[in-house]
Amino acid sequence: MNKHPLNDLLEPVVEKQGYELIRILTIGAKNPTLQVMIDRKDGKEVTVDDCATVSRALSAVLDEADPIENRYSLEVSSPGIDRPLTKPVHFSRFAGYEAKIETLTEIDKRKRFKGRIAGIDGAENILFEMDGVHYIIPFAEVAKAKILMTDELLKKYAEAQSEVVL
């Protein structure tokens, strides 16, 4: 999976704030939006305050480094329920969930997969099941991947949100 050019600059800032960097996207050409997607390391839902905290820290670094030529907008957001999968550990964490994967090159004569994540094999390969067929997809070949919104996912999300830690 390709890293954004600003990944090396911004990921340490996000990590220092106690969050995980999920993805960076630049949207638009003239006055672009720099979208930074974060997640909490404790598994709780990302709040508006979390986004504001990370946004302030990123703004300071971006102002100093000035890596974007023209005007731009910074947007810090959560990955949401149907989150992108951008690291091998995500495929391990979300094993059993339904997902879509697009690959850079054909694997078994296809580039698009829609099925269930079976896990990972080391840090190199994603184990994936689709229509009763098992695939081994090298992580290096993943162009993009995301969890699919399903009733099962919504149920687990609702259960996680209703848990109270004493």
Which tens digits make up the pLDDT trace of 67-105? 988 899 999 999 988 899 999 999 999 999 999 999 999
State the pTM of this model. 0.85
Give the C-alpha separation, 116 to 89, whole Å.
16
Candidates 145, 147, 118, 111; CA nearest to 134 is: 118
pLDDT tens column, 100-153: 999 999 999 999 999 999 999 987 899 999 999 999 999 999 999 999 998 888
**How confident is residue 42, by pLDDT bands cut at 50, 70 and 90?**
confident
Residues whose CB falls within 8 Å of the CB of residue 28, separated by 6 or more in sequence, listed in order: none
Q: Read off φ and ψ for residue 22, nearest 5 degrees.
A: -90, -50
